[in-house]
Amino acid sequence: MNKQPTRPRARLPRGFRDRGPDEIAAERKMLDAIRRVYESYGFDALETPSLEYTDALGKFLPDVDRPNEGVFSFQDEDEQWLSLRYDLTAPLARYVAENFQNMPKPFRRYQVGQVWRNEKPGPGRYREFTQFDADTVGSASPSADAELLMMLADTLEALGLARGEYLVKVNSRNLLDGVLEAAGVSLADAEKRGTVLRTIDKMDRLGARGVRALLGEGRKDESGDVTKGANLSPDAIERILEFVAPEKDENDFALRLAALSGIVAGASGEKGIAELSAIFRMLTDCGYGPDRIQIDTGIVRGLDYYTGPVFEAQLTFPVANEAGETIVFGSVGSGGRYDDLVARFTGQTVPACGVSIGVSRLLSVLRAREQVSEPAEKLVMILVLDKAEAAASFKLAQELREAGFRAEAYTGESGMKAQMKYADRRGAAIAIIEGSDERARGELTVKDLVLGAELAKSVGDRAEWVKEQPAQVSVARANIAASLRTIMDARKG
């Protein structure tokens, strides 16, 4: 008895997705815009491999439900563990450590690429996505942090976001340490500090009342589940709430910092006030006001990673998810100062700061608003009616490509009707027909399919229109490129 061959089932791994030409083209346009801004600031391109030795990645970003599964890893033939990068910063730290003696300082680079997180997937949360980073390594000056904040604002505006549609929010690891010290939370009590910081990070979702409960004895949610609190004293709770949710929402840089200086304590608090004061002086002098960049002491980011200022770029307009529900979209860009990362390799502290734009997240919003779309230049489809003369059609396609068009000669086996349907399915703007009669006259028949799509709305059946409607012209073979450009330009207008 013959066994049937075992066939794999066609399916995607969970947390991954396929992408079509429209999204890819929109992403390319978006990446080009970001690249132009980064390069205008003097950052140079760098590429690092997708794979790194696992120990070079350091403490990666595990999912809370799967604490040992933060990265995708495997062993090579030498039994060395390799992992797909989970961000672009850890590979940069390895690169700097290897090349530190021979690079200019500060070292400024940008990089775009895929990153992978072996985390629990969910709606809109994928295991593979694109980031676009820029980092300055070798400068401890607050001007380096301020420059990244300005560049992030400029980038968002270059992508079509107007002022008022985004905010870059800035906090400081040192300020957070200072308010915890003032509240009596010891640096040595890592568990309590972690509880307090995670609670602060929930301010947008829970509000002051929910945060106050979690800083105290705990909180019962709507399902009845009880979350244990940090058990801070009432005075400590009020000091922290005054820090993250002041009664007066003051956007003026100087006034906000003056208020914070009376809340934080110790050397960390003083350092945080000083670094943010220097950053915001530069921002003010360069014309970047609170309509673009603001202090927000509720911003809490990877505090085992960042050592100074931290920031997030957030959207301020309503965003709809795939179900059409209005959601809080969250961060589309983030960054901060991380002075200890290179020291993992060298033992030497190297000051560094960086910014990362979540390309995949931001692209989904911009595409929904039609602010990033596919290129205006559409496909020209050349029908091949006489298989014995197919080379002439391919030569025409070659000439059109040399003239700057996207051109495809049909490579299938079907006749004219099927080829027209194929051109329609391909989203072609123009179909060119060169039969024996046209060739004898030195002419080509040009069908404007974009115009046809507009006229076909009154007909009802697009395929029937493509088959029957004579919205076409005869063009001299020698003038085809100029004639197509006239048609294409009219469509763009």
CATH topology of domain 379-492: Rossmann fold (3.40.50)
SS3 186: coil
Beta bridge partners of 357: 132, 333
Average model confidence (pLDDT) for the chain? 86
CA atoms of 379 and 406, how far apart (whole Å): 5
Measured from the Cβ of residue 64, the count of other Cβ atoms closer than 10 Å reads 7
Give the residues of the chain that fall short of pLDDT 50. Answer: 60-68, 465, 468-470
Q: What are phi and psi of 435, to 5 degrees?
A: -90, -175
Q: Are 214 and 230 in contact (CB under 8 A)?
A: yes
The answer to whether the 21-368 and 379-492 domains have the same CATH topology is no
CATH 3.30.930.10, domain 21-368, yes or no: yes
Domain residue ranges of the chain, discontinuous segments joined by +: 21-368, 379-492
| DSSP 3-state of 353 | strand
Q: What is the pLDDT of residue 493?
A: 53
| Whole-number Å distance between alpha carbons of 213 and 117 | 33
Angle at alpha carbon of residue 58, lines to 55 and 60, rounded to 5°? 120
Q: Sort strands 379-382 and 406-409 into parallel, antiparallel or unpaired.
A: parallel
Count CB-CB contacts under 10 A for residue 268: 21
- Dihedral angle computed from the Cα positions of residues 89, 90, 91 and 93, in that order, rounded to the nearest 10 degrees: 90
pLDDT at 64 (0 to 100): 43
* pLDDT for the residue 231: 86
pLDDT in tens, 114-157: 999 988 887 667 899 999 999 999 999 999 999 999 999 999 99
CA–CA–CA angle 348, 117, 204 (5° rounding): 90
Residue 381 backbone class (left: φ over 0; alpha: ψ -120 to 50; beta: rest): beta
**Residue 487 buriedness (CB in 10 A; 0-12 / 13-18 / 19+):** middle
88-115 per-position pLDDT tens digit:
999 999 999 999 999 999 999 999 999 9
The pLDDT value given to residue 435:
82
pTM, rounded to two decimals:
0.84
